[in-house]
Structure 1
C-alpha cells in the first residue's frame, strides 16, 4: 500500500470569465479554487467524500490579474478523528515570469463522511518536519481562537 500524501498542488490560468471590471480575479473565484484544492487534499488523505465545515482567516495580500498562472498549495496540518485542517496558500505569476508571489492564505476544515453523510474515521496525521510541527501548532492555536469566536457569534446564530 502506498503512503498517503498530505499535500497537493493545483494550477489554473485566470481567464476573462474569472475577473471583475478592474481586470483582477474575483475574490469568489479565488475562494472556489482554494476550496477545490483543499477538497482534493482532504479527499486524497481520507479516501472518502468530505464536506467543508469551516473556512477561516482568508486574507488577500495581492491581486491576481487576468492571464496569470495561479497555483494553489494545500496541505494537511492537523487531523482529528474525522476532521482535517488544511492550510491553503495561493500564488500567482504573469506568464513568462519565473517567480510566483503569494496572494492568499487560509485554513479550511473538512470532515470525512460515509455514504449516509455521517462522520467517518480518517488516518491520523503525524507531523515530522520542523515546518509540519510548526503548522500543527498553528492549527491548535487557531482551534482555541475559534472557540472564543464561536462564543461571540452564538447570540447571532439563528
Structure 2
C-alpha cells in the first residue's frame, strides 16, 4: 500500500563514483555530459523511490557547473525531493568532488530535475505528498514553488512574443550582434 505522504528522508538517494580517465574531456576534466548522465540517473532513482513507480525526466530546470571535477576524484551526488505536484516531482541534486588523497571536498554542481511518475501505459500517476520536517525542507519547497512559477512565466512570455518582428530590435541592443536586414 502506497503512503499518502512521505518524508524527504524516505526518498533521499546518495551515490558515489570514482572519476576515471575515460570520463574526461579533451581538457583533462570530467566531461559535463558524463556528469549530466549521472545526474539523470540519480534523479530517476530518487523520484522512483518517492513515487514507487517508473519516472521520466520532464525537464532539466537548472544545471550550474560551479567547479571542474578532476580525474581521480570521488564524486558524491545527493538527491532529494524538494517539491511535489500531482504527478511531478522536483529533484534537487548536489554534487561534491573529494580529492581522496587530501580529503578536500568541493561543491561542483547544483541541479534541479523535474520528474514525472508514469504507469505501465505511460499515463501520469499521482505521487505521495511531502512531509516537511524542518525549516530547510520548507525553504526548499517554497523555493521550488518560486522556481516553478518563474518557469511557467518564461514559457508564457516566450510563446506570446514574436521575436522575429522588427519592433523587438531594441531587445538585442547592447549585445555582441550585427543586424543585416
* TM above 0.5: yes
Aligned residues: 156
Distance in 2 of aligned mates of 1:90 and 1:25: 13
User: TM-score normalized by structure 1?
Assistant: 0.92
Question: TM-score, length-normalised on structure 2?
Answer: 0.81
SS of residue in 1 equivalent to 2:156:
helix
The whole-number CA distance in structure 2 between the counterparts of 1:99 and 1:118 is 45
Per-residue displacement from partner, 1:133-157 (whole Å, max 9, x unpaired)?
100011001001101221233369x
Q: Does 1:30 align with 2:40?
A: no
Superposed CA deviations along residues 70-103 of structure 1, whole A, max 9, x for unmatched, are 0000000111111111101111011123242110
Q: 2:72 aligns with which of 67, 70, 81?
A: 67
**More off after superposition, 89-98 vs 137-146:** 89-98
* Residue number in structure 2 paired with 1:134: 139
Alignment partner, residue 97 of structure 1:
102
In structure 1, the residue matched to 2:13 is 8
Q: Which residue number corresponds to residue 51 of structure 1? A: 56
Distance in 2 (CA, whole Å) between partners of 1:129 and 1:96 is 35
Q: CA RMSD in A?
A: 1.8
Q: Which ranges of structure 1 fall in alignment gaps of 5 or more residues?
A: none
Runs of 4+ aligned structure 1 residues displaced above 3 Å come to 1-4
State the partner residue of 1:86: 91
Q: Tell which deviates more after alignment, 121-130 or 65-74.
A: 121-130
Alpha-carbon distance between aligned partners in 2 of 1:145 and 1:11, rounded to the nearest angstrom:
32
Query: Alignment partner of 1:50: what SS?
Result: strand
